[in-house]
């Protein structure tokens, strides 16, 4: 047997073995669940969509992953991921469909659902996006879910987390360079310790309005991203308004002080300001009917699954 033939045989053997492993690794199909189909995408040009620009960021390339790992380890490690295969696959399909129509179509993303009952979504950078069970309960159709995910995809694409940490590290600790994963973790730990010493610094950051600018930028990018991906771009505004209404009901309309606190310390701009941005963007694209949304059986199946999760 010549070396080439032997090599070919070995390759065939490897292929056969790999095939067997793949077949064995495939889980039994759950026939009760619906497969997801994407909405029809839109090809329109969106010249007014925001684009990621420069800005100080010491966490580029590999360092962005180091930062994401450190944030997860030091700040969000307590969040428990939902281990439901259908929910996770559905989220990753909708999420990756959005990514393909976002400003960062080539970036690898991970979509993680957590057990947290508070309605929330966030990115830690590095394409790692978290969405809580509370938020999955909150969204009423796939367009609203897409709006929330697209907002986080934009934060991630625009490097809002790494840029914020770059800024904070410089002002709070004087750090202006990181060379290893260990350095990133210890710099972040040092920053958190600084904030514990001077809690006013954290408030200052949100009062300066940097975070609010980031939020509006993510909203605008989400508008165009959902539009191109085939969803109703107004859906994010709809879910935001509903959340604000629920929150006001919970706190009581009379409680002006509580609302003032939310306005002052919440990193998100007030909803009317965000809604205005959405209606401004809608001048530049051909909008679908106001309350229309994509009919997705898989979305309904996901909601039913999430509703049945243990408390």
| Exposed/middle/buried for residue 225 (C-beta within 10 Å: 0-12, 13-18, 19+) | buried
Quote the distance between the C-alpha of residue 269 and its chain's center: 18
Least distance between Zn ion and beta carbon 236 (Å): 10
* Residue 178 contacts residue 59 (beta carbons within 8 Å): yes
Among 143, 157, 134, 111, which Cα is nearest to 238's?
A: 143
Least distance between Zn ion and beta carbon 121 (Å): 8
Least distance between Zn ion and beta carbon 155 (Å): 6
**86 or 231, CB closer to Zn ion?**
231
- Stretch 197-236: interaction string toward Zn ion, x if CB under 5 A: ------------------x---------------------
Length in residues, the chain: 311
**42 or 212, CB closer to Zn ion?**
212
Least distance between Zn ion and beta carbon 267 (Å): 7
**185 or 217, CB closer to Zn ion?**
217
String of b and e for 64-99 (b: at least 16 CB within 10 Å)?
bbbbbbbbbeeeeeebeebebebbbbbbbbbbbbbb
Least distance between Zn ion and beta carbon 278 (Å): 14
For Zn ion (CB under 5 A), the number of binding residues is: 1
**156 or 215, CB closer to Zn ion?**
215
**185 or 281, CB closer to Zn ion?**
281
Q: How far apart are CA 276 and CA 79, in angstroms?
A: 33
- Rg over alpha carbons for the chain, rounded to the nearest Å, is 22
Q: Which residues bind Zn ion (CB under 5 A)?
A: 215
């Amino acid at each position: 047997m010549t070396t080439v033939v032997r090599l070919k045989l070995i390759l065939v053997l490897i292929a056969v073995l790999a095939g067997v492993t793949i077949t064995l690794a495939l889980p039994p199909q759950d026939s009760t669940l619906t497969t997801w189909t994407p909405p029809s995408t839109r090809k329109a040009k969106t010249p007014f969509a925001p684009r990621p620009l420069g800005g100080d960021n010491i966490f580029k390339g590999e360092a962005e992953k180091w930062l994401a790992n450190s944030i997860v380890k030091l700040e969000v490690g307590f969040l428990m991921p939902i281990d439901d295969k259908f929910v996770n696959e559905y989220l990753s399909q909708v999420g990756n469909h959005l990514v393909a129509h976002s400003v960062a179509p080539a970036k690898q993303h991970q979509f993680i659902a957590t057990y947290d009952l508070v309605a929330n979504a966030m990115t830690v950078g590095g394409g790692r996006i978290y969405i809580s069970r509370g938020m999955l309960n909150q969204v009423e159709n796939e367009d609203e879910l897409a709006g929330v995910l697209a907002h986080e995809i934009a934060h991630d694409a625009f490097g809002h987390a790494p840029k914020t940490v770059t800024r904070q590290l410089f002002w709070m600790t004087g750090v202006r360079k990181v060379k290893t994963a260990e350095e990133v973790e210890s710099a972040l730990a040092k920053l958190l310790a600084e904030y514990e010493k001077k809690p006013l610094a954290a408030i200052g950051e949100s009062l300066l309005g940097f975070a609010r600018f980031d939020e509006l930028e993510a909203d605008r990018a989400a508008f165009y991203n959902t539009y191109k991906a085939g969803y109703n771009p107004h859906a994010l505004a709809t879910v935001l308004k509903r959340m604000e209404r629920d929150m006001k009901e919970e706190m009581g309309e009379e409680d002006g002080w509580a609302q003032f606190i939310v306005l002052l310390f919440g990193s998100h701009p007030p909803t009317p300001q965000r809604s205005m941005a959405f209606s401004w963007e809608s001048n530049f694209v051909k909008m679908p009917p106001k309350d229309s949304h994509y009919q997705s059986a898989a979305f309904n199946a996901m909601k039913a699954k999430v509703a049945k999760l243990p408390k």
